[in-house]
Amino acid sequence: MVFKNPNPMCKEELFEGALAQMRKAYAYVDLTDNVKEVLEHTKEMLQANLLVRMDSGSLKVFPAIRVRYNDELGPTKGGIRFHPNVSVDEVKSLAFWMTMKCAVVNLPYGGGKGGVQVDPKRLSAREIESLARAYIKAFADFIGPDKDIPAPDVYTNATIMGWMMDEYNDITRKQNPAVITGKPLNLGGSKGRNVATSLGGYYIFKEACERLDLGKGITIAIQGFGNAGMHMAKLLANEGYRVVAVSDSKGAVYNPVGLDIAHLIEHKQKRRKEGEFSSISVCDNCREGDKKITNEELLELKVDVLIPAALENVITRKNADKIKAKLVIELANGPTATEADHILSKKGIVVVPDILANAGGVVVSYFEWVQNKAGFYWEEQKVFDRLRAKMTRAFEEVYLESEKHKIDLRTSAYVVALKRIMEAIEAKGRHPYD
């Protein structure tokens, strides 16, 4: 095997759990066995060992992977993450969720995902660039603007996407801006892409709060203060909502009267060089009234809304019964384990699933791809207006399906996605033989 398993939690469980969530929706969609066979298996996967020369002059190998889960609706689409706990099971699960996500918001895409097992905080900017270029060298034949389109994910960003696109262009000897999304604006990126995941989640948050009759006086905790969590906190604070807790990998900070989000962002964004990642924590510079707590304690706070915005499986059967929020908005991919879903549902907690709540990123990535293909670029407000339209329509479809079948929003989102994928599969002539 290419990948080591540094985290005992990274077992072959995540993907099976993801499939279990989808299978709950089978009861509400008339799927043939042929369709189920296609949906439950990965289309293709490629692994590689990336050889990088470090600043010390030594050579180091980093395991890497790219998964194309399903392309029935169009070319596969999905981010590349740099993280020490990247595993085959995790990336397969993320590619599966991306398949469902694109179908829920009605994009002409399938699902893909990639990753490198690395701690980017231990690398210099030059080493990260070398790693990014090595990734594209290894997977250049596996991706392409009409086959598989990468984007940023955990611990990757616009700068890294720019390096990757440049490497792909060197290999193919032509300009291919549509091969990667989430790029810098001057390399063909779309306005609004840096806040797209959070803004899409914010539109979903507003729709959900309206259905649950939750007003401006509610309290909110955000687990994760990377790109998605940080921008979500800023959007909420700017609109007058009270964000009482946020966290990163080193811990959390809590203030019952509300945190100074602008101060936390300014503190967190202190970086050494472009392309490098900050090791500064939100816990490092607490103000009067702020209290340091753990990530686990944040999840269990008595708040109205909980927004997981970090990694997978943070809400499990061990802590689900301790969750006190009325509403959970899954800004992260797969933050709620399958067993935890049932517990939250029994407690009456409404969960807006990841395949709907965090789809804003792939929606604006799609807009970027369209703009790259056309060679014509939109103003930011046009991007935001079209994102809002996409997200609110998707929420309405999922909510109505939920009301129709009296099912939770996650199962309902899978029903919407499965219907679209099934129609595409059957339109290609894959009906069962008589």
Residues contacting residue 85 through CB under 8 Å, at least 6 positions apart: 6, 7, 9, 10, 117, 311
The tokens for 422 are 């099934």
Cα separation of 315 and 210, whole Å? 25
Establish whether 113 is a catalytic residue.
yes
Over the range 304-316, which residues count as b (16 or more CB within 10 Å of their CB) and which as e? bbbbbbbbbbbbb
Cα separation of 120 and 272, whole Å? 13
Alpha helices in 24-157 (DSSP H): 33-39, 88-104, 125-139
3-state secondary structure (DSSP) of residue 111: strand
The tokens for 163 are 């390096």
Residues contacting residue 379 through CB under 8 Å, at least 6 positions apart: 191
3-state secondary structure (DSSP) of residue 242: strand
Q: What angle do CA 310, 277, 197 make, to 5 degrees?
A: 40
Bridge partners (DSSP) of residue 336 are 315
Please return the burial class of 45, using the count of CB atoms within 10 Å of its CB with bins 0-12, 13-18 and 19+.
middle
3-state secondary structure (DSSP) of residue 152: strand
Q: What angle do CA 89, 92, 97 make, to 5 degrees?
A: 125
- Among the listed residues 92, 101, 113, 234, the single catalytic one is 113
Cα separation of 222 and 246, whole Å? 5
Bridge partners (DSSP) of residue 292 are 253
Bridge partners (DSSP) of residue 351 are 328
Cα separation of 40 and 382, whole Å? 37
C-alpha dist (Å) from residue 157 to 111, 138, 162, 163, 190: 19, 20, 9, 10, 14
Q: Which residues are catalytic?
A: 113
